[in-house]
Amino acid sequence: MHRLGIVGHRALDPEAREFVAFACSALIAEAQRVTTVAAVSALAEGADTLFAEAALSAGATLEVVRPYEDFDGEFPTAERRRRYRALVDAARQETRLPFGSRSTRAYEEAMRRVTDVCDILVAAWDGTPPRGTGGTADTVRYARSIGRPVIHLDVRHSVIVRGSAG
């Protein structure tokens, strides 16, 4: 089995959303030609959710990392919460981190957990430097420090960059 993890931006313009959805589907399909695939995601809105949906559509398994107990409160509308809960219900496994509420530490730990358990990290990211801990750029830096391969979905230019992420 091959585990593909995702980190990425939550706020994506329509063009970037379309690119990320397409690229995630393509990467998962490519990996499935070689082995079975498990997608690892914290299921935040944006890239994480698009990746999880692509994985399930392709017949891959989904493994979820929940950053904190009340994470479904991150989703501001009933429809978005329903989408989140449907993904959690479809997951083969859910790892719940021991944080009770939203915090930078909870997000940082969730992104590290995704990175630690995957074979390849997919980063849907604009390539800008870290603006703090627990975000996409910080997670890419962490992945590289532990030797985790990174595939960069460059959301500014709509290109897939293999083996480099800024």
What confidence score (pLDDT) does residue 154 get?
A: 96
Question: What's the structural domain count of the chain?
Answer: 1
The structure tokens listed for 111 are: 């992104």
Domain span at residue 23 reads 6-162
pLDDT digits (tens, 9 = 90+) for 77-101: 999 999 999 999 999 999 999 999 9
Phi, psi of 43 (to 5 degrees): 65, 25
pTM: 0.93
Structure tokens at 156: 């500014």
Cα separation, 61 vs 7, in Å, equals: 17
In a domain? residue 134: yes
Residue 114 scores a pLDDT above 70 = yes
Specify if 1 maps to a domain: no
pLDDT of 166: 46
Percent of the chain past pLDDT 90, that is, above it, reads 87
Does residue 46 contact residue 11 with C-beta atoms inside 8 Å?
A: yes
Q: Is 147 exposed, middle or buried (0-12, 13-18, 19+ CB in 10 A)?
A: exposed
Q: Could you tell me the CATH number of the domain that includes residue 17?
A: 3.40.50.450
The answer as to whether 16 is a domain residue is yes
